[in-house]
Amino acid sequence: MAFYDSLFNVLGLREWCDSAVVKSDTPKSMAELLANAAGKDSVERPWYEIPFPSLDNLNQACDSIDRTRDMTNGLERFFLDDLKDPLKAVLDPLTQPLSWLLDGSLWLFTNTPWWVLIPIVLFLSFKVTRSWPTVLLVAVTFGFFAFIDHYTYAIQTLSIIFVCTVLCILFGIPIGIVMSKNDWFQKINIPILDMLQTLPSFVYLIPLIFLFSVTESKLYGIAIMLYAIVPVIRLTDLGIRLVDKDIIEAADAFGMSKKQKLFGVEIPLALPTIMAGINQTIMMALSILVIASLVSAPGLGVLVLRGIRSLELGVGLISGFCIVLLAVMLDRVSKKALSRINASQDH
């Protein structure tokens, strides 16, 4: 006899419980299988053990209550039967440009000769940082990648990070600006950002795999962007909210419009905080790169997975070190650019 039988009898729900159609093909739990193997009809519990009123335990006393397995199966059927096709019809055309950008960037980066691409990267690094030691770090990093024949994989990784980071900036900064100006919009978005920031990396891939083909670049692009966009949104919102109110009042006294205040006062003063958000976005995009390689993302993550699957210790360690080296290089470049912004504002 199930533990909660008497509860449903006292509540007068026995007729409702017994009216349910019991599915004969419903799989049994492990505890039920072990009890049946021992020749028992049900799981015996000690008199002092009170089972928590979970779905499975309540189902034993009342067939009308679904079990946990029924709930998860129902959610799966809802997603696959009712939600998947409408979502796919809407998201496919909206996200197709992301595939084009990722594929085009990969083609451009990998087909540009090293003796053209590396000088361009060094020139851009110097323009952004104005620091010869940082430029030297970039040159040594790319030289090391080329020396150990990991240059192509590193360039593929850099291409993906470049596209995803730029898109995160283009979408994240406007969202952060709106959040800073609208408390109601901020209250709606904070729980969403909390969820995106705490959701395990693998969970991002579960709905995306069912919505898009594994061969489509947008699959890993969306996963990277969802994971990496949070810092730039949060720190843009924070940076603009932290602008000194006295400066805002002075701008109002000069008769500046909202647009003039935003682009002439608030964003320049919040730029160091926004740049810190961009730096974190780059780091988070790199951190999910190996996970994205599970769904056909090219680059250094592929070598890490190869090392795991084939138990090739050297391949895994070297490719992991290359990802760390790439992360250090991007971190130093972005932080040097941030320090230049801070120095220019101090003067």
Which residue from 321, 285, 284 is spatially nearest to 150, judged by alpha carbons?
Answer: 321
Angstrom distance (rounded) from CA 107 to CA 109 = 6
Closest CA to 54 of 70, 38, 40: 70
* DSSP per position, 4-36: THHHHHHTT-HHHHHTSPPPTTPPPPHHHHHHH
- Taking only the tens place, the pLDDT of each residue in 306-316 is 998 888 999 99
Tell me whether residue 243 is in a domain: yes
In this structure, what token pair is assigned to residue 228? 């990496």
If phi > 0 it is left, if psi is from -120 to 50 it is alpha, else beta; for residue 98 that is alpha
For residue 231, count CB atoms less than 10 angstroms from its CB and return exposed for 0-12, middle for 13-18, buried for 19 or more. Answer: buried
Does 306 fall in a domain? yes
pLDDT in tens, 194-223: 999 888 877 878 888 888 888 889 999 999
Do 17 and 135 share a domain, yes or no?
Answer: no
Pair 92, 207 in one domain? yes
**Inter-residue contact 101 to 220 (CB < 8 Å):** no
Handedness of CA 244, 247, 252, 255 (dihedral sign): negative
Q: Transcribe 217-252 into DSSP letters.
A: HHHHHHHHHHHHSHHHHHHHHHHHHTS-HHHHHHHH
Render pLDDT for 250-295 as a digit per residue (tens, 0 to 9). 888 888 888 889 988 999 999 989 999 999 999 999 888 888 888 8
| Whether residue 61 is found in the same domain as residue 90 | no
Q: pLDDT tens digit string along 99-146?
A: 999 999 999 999 999 999 999 999 999 999 989 999 999 999 999 999
The reply to whether 137 and 215 lie within a common domain is yes
User: Is residue 18 located within the same domain as residue 156?
Assistant: no
In a domain? residue 100: yes
- What's the whole-model pTM score? 0.85
Q: Which helix (H) or strand (E) holds 186?
A: helix 183-198
Quick one: 157 and 55 in the same domain? no
How far the first Cα of the chain sits from its last, in Å, is 80
Indicate the residue among 34, 66, 98 that finishes a domain. 66
Does any domain span residue 75?
Answer: no
Structural domain contains residue 248: yes
Same domain, 167 and 204: yes
Can you tell me the distance from the alpha carbon of 295 to that of 260, in angstroms, rounded to the nearest whole number? 44
User: Hey, what are 56's tokens?
Assistant: 């499975």
Whether 74 is covered by a domain: the verdict is: no
Do both 56 and 198 map to the same domain?
A: no
pLDDT digit string, tens, across residues 68-108: 888 888 888 888 888 888 988 898 999 999 999 999 999 99
Burial of 38 (0-12, 13-18, 19+ CB in 10 A): exposed
Q: Measure the CA–CA gap between 12 and 19, rounded to whole angstroms.
A: 13
Q: Does residue 78 belong to any structural domain of this protein?
A: no
CATH number at residue 89: 1.10.3720.10
pLDDT per position as a tens digit, 44-67:
666 566 778 888 888 878 888 888
| In a domain? residue 77 | no
Token pair, residue 2, equals 């199930």
Tell me how many domains the chain contains. 2
Clarify whether residues 52 and 127 are in a common domain: no
Q: Are residues 17 and 141 in the same domain?
A: no
Residues 245 and 96 in one domain: yes
For 189, the domain range is 83-346
Do residue 115 and residue 59 come from a single domain? no
pLDDT for residue 1 is more than 60:
no
The DSSP string of 69-84 is HHHHHHHHHIIIIIIH
Give dist(CA 82, CA 339) in Å, integer. 51
